[in-house]
Amino acid sequence: MAEREQPPSSGARVWAVGALCRAIADALDARFNPVSVRGEISGFSRAASGHCYFSLKDESGQLRCAMFRRAASLLDFSPRDGDQVEVRGRLAVYEPRGDLQLVVESLRRAGQGALFEQFMQRKARLEAEGLFDPARKRALPTLPRAIGLVTSLGAAALHDVVTALRRRAPHIPVVLAPAAVQGAAAPAELVRSLQGLYALEPKVDVILLVRGGGSIEDLWAFNDETLARTIVQSPVPVISGVGHETDFTIADFCADLRAPTPTAAAELVAAPREVWLGALDLIEERLRDAVAARVDLLGQRLDQATGRLGRPSALVARQRLGLAHQAQRLHFAVLARTGRFAQAQQALAARGPLGLRATLARHHERLDRAALRLQLLDPALVLQRGYAWLTDADGRPVMHAAELAPDDHVTARLSDGTVALKVLQ
């Protein structure tokens, strides 16, 4: 049932509460909306629904704000109490309580507009020059001998990094090169600290460039162009751990690796000591197993060689036995030959001188008969009987007349010499 305005008894208009709230909301909408406001965040909270609630205040006032889930999902950073921001939205009256509130449609850090535009322009120019080229970036050392650290002596990031390194790898020395990380002098100091680490001998193997989070103004030193070029010139890998996970600077793009936080940067460069000790234990176990297997293999080969060779004393004994056997055979052979010689002597002695002469006469007779047979076979005796031995020009014997032709030259050997002949027909 619609509310009705009751006429006042005194003649003044009396508003119903809801109607008055709506009238105020309409007046605000017509007079101010849309509206942009700058102030400091206070009491920021995010409900389970995704809606965000906070107050926006300055030194002279405070305004309740509501940012619904759709608009909150478009944020590129995490708002925190104390942040100076610029919001754009619509003033309204929350009728159930009669509260004035600003329904925020967009929110950004104060001054972010001009700085962000400058950041994007510088980023595009340096990227076109190749300073962000992934092919230029180097892998981190597995076991750094020393770690360079560039940050402020008063920064919380220094404590976070040192604590992480002391916990994970206390054996790795850390070389601190202090520098301001915020303000007008910060870029030049950061450049000098980096160059100082570059000139160290022996060199550090990796450099951490870190600071905690903050607004775009707080981190602006890390968007400096000279600092970007100095990072690119580093002789060793550089890890950038600047701000929070949602914060990005030019230094992040130039570094060899970006870490979401300073602590994460320390963890990336130093594996826990327990990991390396475990790896050493594993290597030791593998070496021990390999040595044991090698010893076993060599032992087996030695056993096989020993089996083939046998005991040296047994080999010598077998050689001695063989020598004794050969000596015995030689002795028996000498005895046998000596015995046959003795038997021959005994036979000759038994025959006496007459028998010996008769034996020699028989042998001479046999020898004379053999000599006579040889003489009868001598070709010279044939030639003495008037025969001739013919040979052709090449010295081959001529056995048949058919082997000769007219005008062939032959040689005839006679008993007392040779005669050269020519075949006529």
> Could you tell me if 155 and 230 lie in one domain?
yes
The parent domain of residue 401 ranges over: 379-422
pLDDT at position 2 = 44
Each residue's pLDDT expressed in tens, for the chain with a length of 425 residues: 444 455 555 567 777 777 777 777 777 777 777 888 888 888 899 999 889 999 888 888 888 899 998 988 888 788 888 888 888 888 888 777 777 888 898 888 776 556 777 888 999 999 999 999 999 999 999 889 999 999 999 888 999 999 999 988 888 999 999 999 998 999 999 999 999 999 987 789 999 999 988 777 788 999 999 999 999 999 999 999 998 877 789 999 999 999 999 999 999 998 776 676 777 788 888 898 889 888 888 888 887 777 766 566 666 777 788 888 888 888 777 777 777 766 766 766 666 666 667 777 787 888 888 877 777 777 777 777 778 888 888 888 888 888 888 888 889 888 788 888 888 87
> Could you tell me if 141 and 242 lie in one domain?
yes
Measured on CA atoms in the order 299, 300, 301, 307, is the torsion positive or negative? Answer: positive
Degrees (nearest 5) of the Cα angle 118, 120, 122?
Answer: 70
> Could you tell me if 133 and 264 lie in one domain?
yes
> Could you tell me if 183 and 262 lie in one domain?
yes
> Could you tell me if 184 and 247 lie in one domain?
yes
pLDDT at position 350 = 67
> Could you tell me if 120 and 259 lie in one domain?
yes
Helices (H), 105-155: 112-128
> Could you tell me if 40 and 84 lie in one domain?
yes
* 109: nearest Cα among 8, 226, 247: 247
Q: What is the CB neighbour count within 10 angstroms for residue 281? A: 10
Q: Which CATH number is 61's domain given?
A: 2.40.50.140
> Could you tell me if 243 and 204 lie in one domain?
yes
Q: Which CATH number is 223's domain given?
A: 3.40.50.2300
> Could you tell me if 200 and 170 lie in one domain?
yes
> Could you tell me if 93 and 24 lie in one domain?
yes
Is 361 inside any structural domain?
no
CA gap 37, 104 in Å, rounded: 10
Is 121 inside any structural domain?
yes
The answer to whether residues 33 and 90 touch, using CB atoms and an 8 Å cutoff, is yes
Is 331 inside any structural domain?
no
pLDDT at position 114 = 66
**Coil/strand/helix, residue 91:** strand
Is 152 inside any structural domain?
yes
pLDDT at position 191 = 97
Task: Select from 271, 295, 314 the last residue of a domain.
Answer: 271
Task: Select from 78, 93, 110 the last residue of a domain.
Answer: 110
Is 339 inside any structural domain?
no
pLDDT at position 113 = 59
- List of long-range contacts for 222-226, beta carbons under 8 Å, 24+ apart: 222/181, 222/190, 222/249, 222/250, 222/251, 222/252, 223/119, 223/122, 223/249, 223/250, 223/251, 224/187, 224/190, 224/191, 224/250, 225/122, 225/126, 225/250, 226/187, 226/188, 226/191
Is 349 inside any structural domain?
no
Is 59 inside any structural domain?
yes
Is 129 inside any structural domain?
yes
> Could you tell me if 135 and 242 lie in one domain?
yes
pLDDT at position 335 = 75
Task: Select from 228, 250, 271 the last residue of a domain.
Answer: 271
pTM of the complete model: 0.47
> Could you tell me if 38 and 104 lie in one domain?
yes
Count of the separate structural domains present in the chain: 4
The answer to whether residues 221 and 227 touch, using CB atoms and an 8 Å cutoff, is yes
